[in-house]
Structure formats: structure tokens, C-alpha cells
Structure 1
Amino acid sequence: MTREGSYHVQSIGSNVEIEIKRLQAQVELFWPNELKHYREFGLSDGMSVVELGAGPGFMIDKIAERFPRCQLTALEVDPLLVEYAKNYLTQKNRQDCRVIQGSIMATGLAENSFDFALIRMVLEHLPDIEGAIREVLRILKPGGKAVFVDNDFEMHIMTYPHIPELRELYDAYCQARSNEGGSPKIGRELPVLLKKGGFSRVDFDVVSAHSDIVGDEMFFRSEGIGIPSKLVTEGYLSSKTLGKISVGWRNMVKNKDHAIIRQIYLAAGEKKR
């Protein structure tokens, strides 16, 4: 979540509180499968862990719950989200989680400080991706691991029965974010970018969520109408197309055999010892 690129919580959707709730649902949607991958990529209890671009604090809270002995730092550039994260984590009694305001481009954190770094849905919004990756590498300890998680809007929500107009929605979203300096199809590029940034032992995987496993409601909450409505307001998407998507979505969920699937992309790398 950053003011430095194509994501601004105050303006990306139609309402800040609705957008924050969407972000929370997006964490919930993938968390069980993400957790498996984070453990596979090296996350364990007792580590010093930093999340860069921590937003409202929902993901760092999940990590605190599963790994209670970790020393946790959440860095976020947007002061609104910093304040939200502090309040949220205080309510969850996460006293050992440090929340600080700062940029992933120049964190101000000490070199060789962390065992594990998580950068989730951040690179896709940044104009200087390689600079951000190098900064993550700098603050990791030798042998430390980083996991970068991002979207690729060439493949976002897919449904059965198929809703063809979703392609127009994602094309409009990609155009809007690209115009703001983002890279909405970055998922496929992650391994190459990590190697360019100096990471070794790079790994890559795809995490999926399916409505028949997590339920429809999780998808409804993690998508919402806020961003599509803003795309219509800004002229990237026609109201007619959005109307067709709404009708198609309603008809799709009425089908007893319907399915909704979404995927995100994970790349992990290690700092050389």
C-alpha cells in the first residue's frame, strides 16, 4: 500500500472503509494456502520478521497469531493506514508488533536486520520495482528469506459459467494502474525481478482460492463494486459493461454448479551468506 505508485487507499475505490474491509477479505481469502507456502519458504517461530507495505495490519496480525515468538515489524508509507494498523493491532493485543511509517524504497531500517521479509501486493504498484527489491535485500540478514506476493491481471477472477465481460474489467483496471505507474501483470515477472535484484535460490509458486472450498461470500467481500465503479467514473470502463458484469455475476451464482477461482503469485528468494 503506497502513495508512491498506483495504490492510494483514499482514491482507488469509492469509500475508504469499504476498501479496507476488502483488503481484509483478500487476506482471509488466501491465508490458509499462503501460510503453507510461507512455512515452506522458511518462516518459523522466533524469527525477526518484517512486512513491507503492511497496509491496515491484517497480514502481520495473522503471522503474529501463528508465530507468537516472532519479533514483528510492519512498515507502511500511508499515514492513514499506519494509524489504522496501530489501532487494529492494539485491539488484537499484539504488543510485540512494531508499526512504523516508512517507504519500501528507503525503509530507514538497519542493514542485515531480518530473518524473513514479506512484501504482499506492493511491487505491482511501484514505479521503481528493482529499487524496492534491492532495499528488501539490504535489510535481510545473510541467509534471510523474502517472499514477494503479487497479482497478474491477465488471470484474475475466473468463473463457471464464464462471464466474458470480466476481461473488459481487468483490461480497464490494467490501463488505470499502468497510467499511474503500476505493473498490474507483474506476477509472471517475479522470479526474473528477484534474480536481477540480487536474490539467490529463487522459487516460484501460484496460490489459488476456489469458491467450492472457501465459499462464495469470501469472494464477494474480497472483490466488491468499489474499484469497478471508480473505473466507470474515471472513464476506463463503460457503465453498460459494468451492468453486464453485474447481471452475469448474478446469473453465474444461481447456477448450482458454479465456480469462482482466483490466483496470486509468490516468488521467494534468499540473501547470499
Structure 2
Amino acid sequence: MGTTGSYDVSRIGASVDAEIDRLGGQVELFWAKESQRYAGYGLTAGLTVVELGCGPGYLLEKLATAFPGLDLHGLELDPLLVERATRYLSEQGLDVSVRQGSILDTGYPEATFDFAVIRLVLEHLPEPMTAIREVYRILRPGGRAVFVDNDFEMHLMSFPPIPELREVYDAYCRSREDEGGNPRIGRELPVLLAAGGFVDVDYDVISAHSALVGDDLFARSEGVGIPSRLVRDGYLSSRTLGLVSSRWRDLLRGDGHALIRQLHLGTGRRPAADR
């Protein structure tokens, strides 16, 4: 979070606190499966790990708890989020270094980290390849990066269907594209990583289902702040938002309903021979 591009924590949602809570919901929603992927990609005690665009520090806390023995670092551009992350991690009793800086030019020496996580960042950047090459640079030879992003044509699905959700996500895509982002970047991750020099590139999609994680996490991770701002900024009609809200409430009241959301993961290594 807090990258130069289409994301600004102070204006994307209804309020800073509401947006930070939504970011926490996004971590909780996928953590059970996401943590399994990190373990499968070789995350283990003793590694030096950085999260670039660490936001308020919720993922760093999860990593520290699930994978004890990591040397954890966070980088975040937005000074407000740096302060929030530093305070939150300290309150959890965790020794995690969080500093202010940009993923486009981190300031870290070359070959510093064994493992890097870049979560919901690339989709907000006008020049994602610049970020990918910087991640490559700060990885040690043989080190691994995991890029996690959305693709808003394959975002949230429901049963019974809510047809107007498509209008909401199309409006969101237009707003992010107008600000230099790429909200459909999830499908491009393997191609971008290969172009950035990574080897052993892999791609996966993880899904969260309301029957397994509950309805509340879906509501928390989506929120109403962003759709409301789309209305205020002229990307979405108030009528459409009203229909979505009404159909969402009706869906939750019904038996047998389902909500599904996806995240896209691209991963690759800096070649071990690249010294």
C-alpha cells in the first residue's frame, strides 16, 4: 500500500480508519490459504524477508506469528501507514523493522533479502516493471519473490448472482486506470515476472468462500467506502450502488448463499548463478 500510483489511503475509502480496517479484512480473508503458499514457496525460519508496500503491518504480523525466526522488514511509502504499522507491530510485541520508502527505488543494497512479498501493490503502479526489477535487484541470488494481486474481472462472485456487481467493478477499474493503475494485472503476473528476469516462475489462484470463512470477513474486506467514493467521483450511479446494497442484504438473509473471491499469485526466483 501507499505506492505512487492509484492508491491513497487517505482518499480511497470513507475514512482512513475504515480503509485500514478493510485492509486488515483482506489479510484475514485469504490468510489460511495464502500462508500455505508461502510455506510451499520455501518461507522458513532464518530467512531475511521484506514486505514491500506493507501498509498498516497486518501481513507482517501474520508472517511473524506463523513463521517464527524470520528476520522481518517492511517498506511503505505513506508516512501515515508507516506510523500505523510501527505502532501496531510494537503493540504485538514484535521486532519488525518498518521504514518509509518506495518499491520503485527502495534504497536497500543489492542482494539484501532471501524472500520478498509484494501484496496488492503492482495493480496500483503506472510502471509495474520498474518495481519488479527493483525487487529482483534487492533479492539475493536464489531468493524468491511472491507478488499477490487482484484481477477485477475475476474478483467477487455470488450465488444468487448480483448482476450489478459487474457495474461496480467496471467502475472501479475505470477509476484506477484513470489514476495510472492496472486492476486486471493478476492475469499478467507470470509474463511480467519472466520479463523481469525471474526464473522458476509459477502462478496460482487462491479463493475464499463464505461457507468456509463466513460472511463477515467478506463484508469487512469489501466495505462500502470505495463504492461510495465511485459514486461521488462520477464513475458509478447511486441507483446501481443502491441496487447492489439491497441485493447484498437479500442474499445474506437467504439460505444456501455463497460469496467467492480470488487472489492471483505470481512467484519466481532470482537465478542462483546471478552473482
* TM-score band, normalised by shorter chain: over 0.9
What is the aligned partner in structure 1 of residue 13 from structure 2?
13
Q: Give the letter for the 1:11 counterpart.
A: R
What is the aligned partner in structure 2 of residue 39 from structure 1?
39
Q: Give the letter for the 1:220 counterpart.
A: A
What is the aligned partner in structure 1 of residue 158 from structure 2?
159
CA contact (8 A) 2:154 2:262 kept: yes
Offset at residue 170 of structure 1 (A)? 0.1
What is the aligned partner in structure 2 of residue 90 from structure 1?
90
What is the aligned partner in structure 1 of residue 137 from structure 2?
138
What is the aligned partner in structure 2 of residue 246 from structure 1?
245
Whether 1:50 aligns to 2:50 is: yes
Inter-partner Cα distance in structure 2 for 1:66 and 1:46:
13
Inter-partner Cα distance in structure 1 for 2:197 and 2:158:
38
Structure 1 residues 108-127: aligned runs within 5 Å = 108-127=107-126
CA contact (8 A) 1:14 1:229 kept: yes
What is the aligned partner in structure 2 of residue 268 from structure 1?
267
CA contact (8 A) 2:12 2:229 kept: yes
Structure 1 residues 167-206: aligned runs within 5 Å = 167-206=166-205
Name the SS of the counterpart of 1:260 in structure 2. Answer: strand
Inter-partner Cα distance in structure 2 for 1:43 and 1:68:
10
Q: Please give the TM-score of this superposition, normalised by the length of structure 2.
A: 0.98
Q: Give the letter for the 1:223 counterpart.
A: E
Name the SS of the counterpart of 1:155 in structure 2. Answer: coil
CA contact (8 A) 1:2 1:125 kept: no
Identical aligned residues as a percent = 58
Inter-partner Cα distance in structure 1 for 2:47 and 2:100:
22
Aligned-pair RMSD on alpha carbons? 0.6
Offset at residue 139 of structure 1 (A)? 0.4
1:164-215: per-residue Cα shift (whole Å, max 9, x none)? 0000000000000000000000000000000001100000000100000000
1:76-107: per-residue Cα shift (whole Å, max 9, x none)? 00000000000000000112x10000000000
Name the SS of the counterpart of 1:141 in structure 2. Answer: strand
Inter-partner Cα distance in structure 1 for 2:93 and 2:130:
34
Inter-partner Cα distance in structure 2 for 1:129 and 1:217:
32
Offset at residue 254 of structure 1 (A)? 1.5
CA contact (8 A) 1:146 1:270 kept: yes
Name the SS of the counterpart of 1:249 in structure 2. Answer: helix
1:40-78: per-residue Cα shift (whole Å, max 9, x none)? 111111100000000000001100011221100100000
Superposition misfits of 4+ residues, deviation over 6 angstroms: none
Structure 1 residues 214-253: aligned runs within 5 Å = 214-253=213-252
1:90-131: per-residue Cα shift (whole Å, max 9, x none)? 000112x10000000000001111110000000000011101
Q: Give the letter for the 1:62 counterpart.
A: K
User: Any stretches of 5+ residues in structure 2 without a counterpart?
Assistant: none
Q: Please give the TM-score of this superposition, normalised by the length of structure 1.
A: 0.99
Inter-partner Cα distance in structure 2 for 1:81 and 1:254:
36
Name the SS of the counterpart of 1:264 in structure 2. Answer: strand
User: Any stretches of 5+ residues in structure 1 without a counterpart?
Assistant: none
CA contact (8 A) 2:160 2:251 kept: yes
Inter-partner Cα distance in structure 2 for 1:104 and 1:224:
27
Offset at residue 3 of structure 1 (A)? 4.4
Name the SS of the counterpart of 2:46 in structure 1. Answer: coil
Inter-partner Cα distance in structure 2 for 1:30 and 1:14:
23
Q: Give the letter for the 1:260 counterpart.
A: L
Inter-partner Cα distance in structure 2 for 1:189 and 1:2:
22
Inter-partner Cα distance in structure 2 for 1:100 and 1:29:
26
Whether 1:104 aligns to 2:103 is: yes
